[in-house]
């Protein structure tokens, strides 16, 4: 059990959630009402007030604010309440207490995370009582902590080898078969991945994880692909120093894909799973790819390298080609792919590209419900010619300065069959500053949205959504 939670039988103090609407009634009915009024507690979202008792602590109030309750109202409590104290949520008088409880557990667990590999946290978190009904949310939190840890590890401690080892350990723990492809086999089977990683002293590799759920070998196949660039210098198109400060997070797509895979396997979803991770470092070296090099891809298409800093799409090209050849029911890739997506949407919104409207609609709806929002952008065929090359089948960057995220998706589109139910997520994977429930550092952006969509789609054996493409 995570250190921020406690089992049901643990003695605990009451934690009372209140809205501005329910606060006056609570004050009128409670002996500490005058104290709460004098303290100025107004039940604003995330506001907390510790209540006294004759023996010391008597409980605490937490504000939910106006409108629908949010997990983030609870995200600051693990470190706002005294260390090692234990609390029991008592949502008396509030509508939908079970829904509120799920949000409280989620916000609490996400807010209690601290990266602690090299420096112990300054204090222990307060703990919240959880029971068996909370297990699905707790599982999501545990996966999130692991994703955050992977992203937060410095590149000196997480190279391609270590990222592959994390995937192997996950597969072994949950009964999957895992293969790591290196060396000459990598050069032959994944030539674009090999080209991206050949400038680094730490060799690249591809991880192939396969798992069959309880429905057996006839179950629908989900394929997940993750960009695992453990550090991105930009190659010979070198990034400025300031832009490199966060480049340890360029493997966030692989980390999020691992998180989704973990949730699928732990839940025993009735599917088959194929997870592909391209683990590589984009460095400068005697063997590094150069601008205007032409490289071969697994699919057979040749690519002219217009910019060595557009390496993530090359990694994904090989992974997508392999995943597509397996004829999955659903194919999803995860990548910190473009700065253009961040310019358009900022750090919190994941750029969603999807072939089928029904799949996109489900992800958008579930993402909003899960407080893990996405925003759809088009795979716009009108920009496909911007990737034309005089010397290769296509270039890896556009000849024009516009629509960088859409053009990157258009590049990937060339490596996936036209009739495939394919989703591309261009995510940030990072919190630039600390907020309740979202500490500064690595973040599993998009993971809950994808996982809960998969759970809704496959847990009851529902059929594939009908194919309807975005107009172009």
Model pLDDT, residue 225: 99
Q: Are 211 and 231 in contact (CB under 8 A)?
A: no
Strand order in the sheet with 350-354: 177-181, 205-212, 272-282, 221-232, 330-335, 422-426, 350-354, 374-376
* Separation of alpha carbons 247 and 251, rounded Å: 8
What is the distance in angstroms between the CA of the first residue and the CA of the last residue of the chain?
49
Please give the distance of CA 240 from its chain centroid, rounded to a whole number.
26
173 belongs to the catalytic site: no
Exposure string (b/e) for 418-456, b if CB count within 10 Å is 16 or more?
eebbbbbbbbbbbbeeeebbbbebbbbbbbbbbbbbbbe
Q: Using alpha carbons only, how large is the chain's radius of gyration in Å?
A: 24
* Separation of alpha carbons 441 and 432, rounded Å: 7
Candidates 313, 355, 356, 448; catalytic one:
313
Model pLDDT, residue 471: 31
Model pLDDT, residue 413: 98
Model pLDDT, residue 25: 95
Model pLDDT, residue 95: 73
Domains of the chain: 5-130 (3.40.220.10), 138-458 (3.40.630.10)
What is residue 334's three-state secondary structure?
strand
Nearest to 348 by CA among 420, 428, 414, 423: 428
Model pLDDT, residue 146: 98
* Separation of alpha carbons 450 and 127, rounded Å: 28
Model pLDDT, residue 386: 96
Model pLDDT, residue 460: 67
Please give the distance of CA 435 from its chain centroid, rounded to a whole number.
17
Its pTM surpasses 0.85? yes
Model pLDDT, residue 55: 85
Candidates 239, 296, 376, 435; catalytic one:
239
352 contact partners, CB below 8 Å, separation of at least 6: 360, 363, 364, 374, 375, 376, 377, 423, 424, 425
Strand order in the sheet with 127-129: 5-6, 127-129, 86-89, 13-18, 56-63, 48-53
Please give the distance of CA 155 from its chain centroid, rounded to a whole number.
19
* Separation of alpha carbons 445 and 349, rounded Å: 8
Positions in the chain whose pLDDT score sits under 70: 460-472
pLDDT digits (tens, 9 = 90+) for 203-239: 999 999 999 999 999 999 999 999 999 999 999 999 9
Q: Mind giving me the DSSP string for 402-428?
A: S-HHHHHHHHHHTTS-TTS-EEEEE--
pLDDT digits (tens, 9 = 90+) for 406-459: 999 999 999 999 999 999 999 999 999 999 999 999 999 999 999 999 999 999
229 contact partners, CB below 8 Å, separation of at least 6: 196, 250, 251, 278, 280, 281, 282, 311, 312, 315, 336
27 belongs to the catalytic site: no
Model pLDDT, residue 330: 98
Q: E strand or H helix at 107, and its extent?
A: helix 97-111
Cβ atoms < 10 Å from Cβ of 125: 24
């Amino acid at each position: 059990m995570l250190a921020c939670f406690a089992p049901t039988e643990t003695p605990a103090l009451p934690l009372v959630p209140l809205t501005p609407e329910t606060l006056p009634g609570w004050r009128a009915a409670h002996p500490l009402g005058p104290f709460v009024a004098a303290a100025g507690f107004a039940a604003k979202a995330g506001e907390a007030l510790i209540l006294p008792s004759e023996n010391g602590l008597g409980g605490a109030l937490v504000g939910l604010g106006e409108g629908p309750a949010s997990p983030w109202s609870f995200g600051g409590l693990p470190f706002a309440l005294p260390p090692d104290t234990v609390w029991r949520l008592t949502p008396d008088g509030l509508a939908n207490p079970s829904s509120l409880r799920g949000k409280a557990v989620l916000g609490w667990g996400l807010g209690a995370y601290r990266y602690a590999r090299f420096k112990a946290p300054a204090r222990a978190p307060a703990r919240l009582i959880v029971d068996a009904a909370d297990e699905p949310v707790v599982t999501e939190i545990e996966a999130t902590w692991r994703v955050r840890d992977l992203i937060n590890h410095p590149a000196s401690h997480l190279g391609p080898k270590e990222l592959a080892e994390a995937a192997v350990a996950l597969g072994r723990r949950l009964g999957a078969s895992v293969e790591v492809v290196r060396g000459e086999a990598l050069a032959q089977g994944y030539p674009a991945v090999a080209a991206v990683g050949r400038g680094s002293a730490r060799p690249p590799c591809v991880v192939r994880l396969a798992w069959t759920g309880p429905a057996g070998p006839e179950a629908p196949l989900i394929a997940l692909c993750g960009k695992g660039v453990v550090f991105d210098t930009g190659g010979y198109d070198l990034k400025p120093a300031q832009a490199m400060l966060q480049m340890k997070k360029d493997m966030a797509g692989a980390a999020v894909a691992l998180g989704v895979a973990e949730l699928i396997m732990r839940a025993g979803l009735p599917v088959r799973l194929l997870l592909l991770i391209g683990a590589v470092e984009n460095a400068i070296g005697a063997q590094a790819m150069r601008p205007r090099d032409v490289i071969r891809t697994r699919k057979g298409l040749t690519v002219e390298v217009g910019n060595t800093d557009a390496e993530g799409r090359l990694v994904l090209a090989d992974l997508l080609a392999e995943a597509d050849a397996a004829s999955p029911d659903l194919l999803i890739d995860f990548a910190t792919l473009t700065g253009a997506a961040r310019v358009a949407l900022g750090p919190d919104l994941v750029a969603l590209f999807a072939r089928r409207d029904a799949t996109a609609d489900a992800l958008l709806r579930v993402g909003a419900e899960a407080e893990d929002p996405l925003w759809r952008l088009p795979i716009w065929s009108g920009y496909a010619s911007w990737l034309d090359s005089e010397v290769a089948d296509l270039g890896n960057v556009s000849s024009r300065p516009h629509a960088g995220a859409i053009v990157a998706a258009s590049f990937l589109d060339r490596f996936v069959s036209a009739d495939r139910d394919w989703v591309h997520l261009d995510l940030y994977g990072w919190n630039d500053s600390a907020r309740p429930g979202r500490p500064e550092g690595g973040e599993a952006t998009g993971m809950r949205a994808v996982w809960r969509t998969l759970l809704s789609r496959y847990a009851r054996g529902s059929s594939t959504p009908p194919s309807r493409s975005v107009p172009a």
